[in-house]
Amino acid sequence: MRHGLFFSMLLLSSVSLASPQIPGLFDAHLHYNADQVKMYSPVDIIRILDQNEVNTAVVTSSPISLALQLHQLAPNRIIPFLGLYQTDKDKQAWHQDEELPVRVAQALKDPAWRGIGELHLFAEHRHSPIFERIALLADSHDLPLLVHTDPVVIDRLFEIATNITVIWAHGGAYPYPELLNDYLKRYPNLYIDLSMRNERIAPEGMLDPEWELLLMEFSDRFLIGVDTYSTQRWQHYSALIDTTRHWMDQLPLEVEMAIGRENVLRLFQSRPEKTTTTVN
């Protein structure tokens, strides 16, 4: 049985991996939601990560218990982020939910949480007092805030809390190297996850020269991920991580190591988990 599993994993690895330049990636942007559990159990999720030589991952979930379940199954590998959405509608309306900051403060009593998000916010809602309170909670707990948002919201975040750590999902709403260069220069605690941007970074698989320069200049500030917001994304996980690996392999090894693993490891090593948690 064990041998059977071993060989099937070996086979899957050889299919999905074209001799990776670096093993043990860190996926900094995973979702594991109620609709995905029907197809993938927590054990299945860990198996997918294993098959793709992804050692560690940030996982956010709705309901929040799912990220904790995965963390409990693989405590050294899963970094749970506190998701704030109970239903799909919350994605648009959370910044008007007066009760949300209280619920978040309550949830953060569990020391298992290592970050907050993903939060979606358009520029016109950046002065929401709810947003401000969530940002202040992230800052006071020294937790990174994962945001999917417009550039001006990033400015607003650092206005609210100068020292907050922000992970800007997908390189922001306008992922242009020149714009990102400007933001990275201005905000030393800003990190950028490159999930969903394979086509821009490497059109037809070839690393774009402007992106290459940006990744080299700020090699300590980028993270990678697959952003499994849908079941379909989990189904295509191997292909998506391979595409990401393909452009990363075109970078110098130390830059690839930084982006593929070391940057995000450093982010959490400087904020160790306080105690272990239990899931009821």
Give contact residues for Zn ion (rule: CB under 5 A). 118, 227, 229
The CB-of-28 to Zn ion minimum distance in angstroms stands at 10
DSSP per residue, the chain: -HHHHHHHHHHHHHHH-S--SS--EEEEEEE--HHHHTT--HHHHHHHHHHTTEEEEEEE-SSTHHHHHHHHHSTTTEEEEE---SSTTHHHHGGG-TTHHHHHHHHTTSTT--EEEEEEE-GGGTT-HHHHHHHHHHHHTT--EEEEE-HHHHHHHHHH-TT--EEEGGG-SS--HHHHHHHHHH-TTEEEE-TT-HHHHSGGGSPPHHHHHHHHHTTTSEEB-----SHHHHHTHHHHHHHHHHHHTTS-HHHHHIIIIIHHHHHHHTS---S-----
Count of positions (residues) in the chain: 280
30 vs 202, beta carbon nearer Zn ion: 30
The CB-of-167 to Zn ion minimum distance in angstroms stands at 11
Distance CA 46, CA 25 (A): 13
199 vs 217, beta carbon nearer Zn ion: 199
56 vs 62, beta carbon nearer Zn ion: 62
The CB-of-73 to Zn ion minimum distance in angstroms stands at 21
Look at the block and give the residue holding tokens 């991996």.
17
The CB-of-201 to Zn ion minimum distance in angstroms stands at 17
219 vs 228, beta carbon nearer Zn ion: 228
17 vs 63, beta carbon nearer Zn ion: 63
163 vs 174, beta carbon nearer Zn ion: 174
Q: In this structure, are residues 128 and 92 in contact, taking their beta carbons and an 8 Å threshold?
A: no
The CB-of-234 to Zn ion minimum distance in angstroms stands at 13
Distance CA 24, CA 57 (A): 10
The CB-of-76 to Zn ion minimum distance in angstroms stands at 23
30 vs 180, beta carbon nearer Zn ion: 30
The CB-of-207 to Zn ion minimum distance in angstroms stands at 23
Closest residue by beta carbon to Zn ion: 227
